Amino acid sequence: MSEDYQDTNTTSHSVLWIFLLLPVCVLAAIFAYFQGLHSRGEMALLSGEFFAYAIFSGGIFHFLLLRNRGGKLFGIVFVAIFLSLLVGGYLGIGKQKRQAALVFSSAQQELKRLGDALETSKAGSNASTSGIIETRTGEPTKATGEFGEMERFMKDFMNSAVAQRNDYLRELDAAGWNKLLDAARLKNDVSMLESRNIIEQGKNIVNKYEKKTVSLFDDGKAKINALNVTEETKKDILAGFERGMLKSSQQLNEQWQMEKQIVQEVENIVTLLSDRTKWIVDGGQITFYSAEDLERFNAHNQKIERIAHQQEEMQKHRLEESKKNFEKLTNTATQ
């Protein structure tokens, strides 16, 4: 009777470790899943880490439950834990890639919306509202967790830049910039005092928003530091933001220099028109008495058009480059 009991107890003990190994493997898979979520999507690197974890945890498991049965079962325990880690890590990386793809795809869609709105606004017939683009902030994100935070930041930053541009255009319009060279207004501005005042306001507005552009990037970095993500993720986002900022700052500086050139050319036109003996308003148009003055007037206008065309080409190039980068990131995330 006692021998039967001993055999049953031995059998139970021999099976017990298998039941205990199951929750260990589940915990290993859960741990690996979260490791995969916070990894950089490099399964090979995780595999090396998981190999070490499997040896360590397998060794502890074997020591606690199987040390009296030799080392034959260590291999089974190690393989079970290692495979659990690999499966969990693979699932975590898979979810990470799907979330990353959602972020880049969503940002790409928002960029396309803004680009399309920009093209539509240029075709508008109302000069006072031409160029104004609708902004959208605070919308629900498609991604969740840290990726949701990244998505929200990217979309809000793009819309903040557009909102700043809208304010710039509105202030110029409020100063009378869009009607500065309107023939009817010029006809009534006998002393050209109003025109010179608009020019000065235009210069101040350009300088104001050139500085605001720098503040926009500083605010962007502050918003990244306020994101509800890990410190490691913040460092990565900041590093990418600063790399992009270096190139964008150079391009934006060129854009502002062009804006200043346009203001200067408009001022040159006002200076030319200051001598009211050289022109009249006839049929709603400015008519010069001499071909030389007409040529100077046209030269200034042509230079303004060339600069504006350069600005549009630069803007299109930046949009296309950004679209390609988001497409590349989306494709990479889904691979």
Verify that 180 and 328 share a domain, yes or no: yes
Domain extent for 21: 1-137
Verify that 125 and 260 share a domain, yes or no: no
Verify that 125 and 180 share a domain, yes or no: no
pLDDT tens digits along 154-183: 888 888 988 999 999 999 999 999 999 999
| Confidence band of 327 (pLDDT split at 50, 70, 90) | low
Q: Would you state the pLDDT for residue 3?
A: 43
Residue with tokens 């990418």, as numbered in its chain: 240
DSSP-derived secondary structure for 149-183 = HHHHHHHHHHHHHHHHHHHHHHHHHHTTGGGTT-H
Evaluated on CA atoms 259, 265, 267, 269, the torsion sign reads: negative
What phi and psi values does residue 281 have, to the nearest 5 degrees?
A: -100, 120
291 within domain boundaries: yes
> How many Å apart are CA 160 and CA 147, to the nearest integer?
20
Q: What is the pTM assigned to this prediction?
A: 0.74
Domain end among 107, 137, 167: 137
CA atoms within a 13 Å half-sphere pointing along the CA-CB vector of 66? 21
**Burial (CB count <10 Å: 0-12, 13-18, 19+), residue 152:** buried
pLDDT, the chain, mean: 81
> How many Å apart are CA 76 and CA 10, to the nearest integer?
20
> How many Å apart are CA 68 and CA 167, to the nearest integer?
78
Verify that 204 and 312 share a domain, yes or no: yes
**325 or 36: which carries more pLDDT confidence?**
36
Give the whole-number percent of the chain exceeding pLDDT 70. 84
Verify that 128 and 228 share a domain, yes or no: no
DSSP-derived secondary structure for 206-234 = HHHHHHHHHHHHHHHHHHHHTSSS-HHHH
Verify that 131 and 191 share a domain, yes or no: no
152 within domain boundaries: no
Number of domains in the chain: 2
Verify that 181 and 311 share a domain, yes or no: yes
Q: What single letter denotes the amino acid at residue 139?
A: E
> How many angstroms separate the most distant Cα atoms in the chain?
130
Verify that 129 and 189 share a domain, yes or no: no
Q: What single letter denotes the amino acid at residue 81?
A: I
Domain end among 110, 137, 164: 137
Verify that 30 and 121 share a domain, yes or no: yes
Q: How far is CA 277 from CA 34, 190, 196, 288, in A?
A: 79, 11, 18, 9
Domain end among 114, 137, 160: 137
Over range 211-224, report the average pLDDT.
89
Verify that 92 and 199 share a domain, yes or no: no
169 within domain boundaries: no
147 within domain boundaries: no
Q: DSSP 3-state assignment of 292?
A: helix
Residue with tokens 């104004």, as numbered in its chain: 132
Q: Would you state the pLDDT for residue 306?
A: 95
Verify that 179 and 125 share a domain, yes or no: no
Nearest-CA neighbor of 151 among 67, 233, 268, 64? 233
Measured between its terminal Cα atoms, the distance across the chain in Å is 63
Question: How many helices (H) and strands (E) are present in the chain, helices listed first?
Answer: 8, 2
Q: How far is CA 43 from CA 29, 144, 280, 284, in A?
A: 14, 22, 76, 71
165 within domain boundaries: no
60 within domain boundaries: yes
| Confidence band of 325 (pLDDT split at 50, 70, 90) | low
Verify that 8 and 118 share a domain, yes or no: yes
30 within domain boundaries: yes
> How many Å apart are CA 166 and CA 118, to the nearest integer?
11
168 within domain boundaries: no
| Confidence band of 60 (pLDDT split at 50, 70, 90) | confident
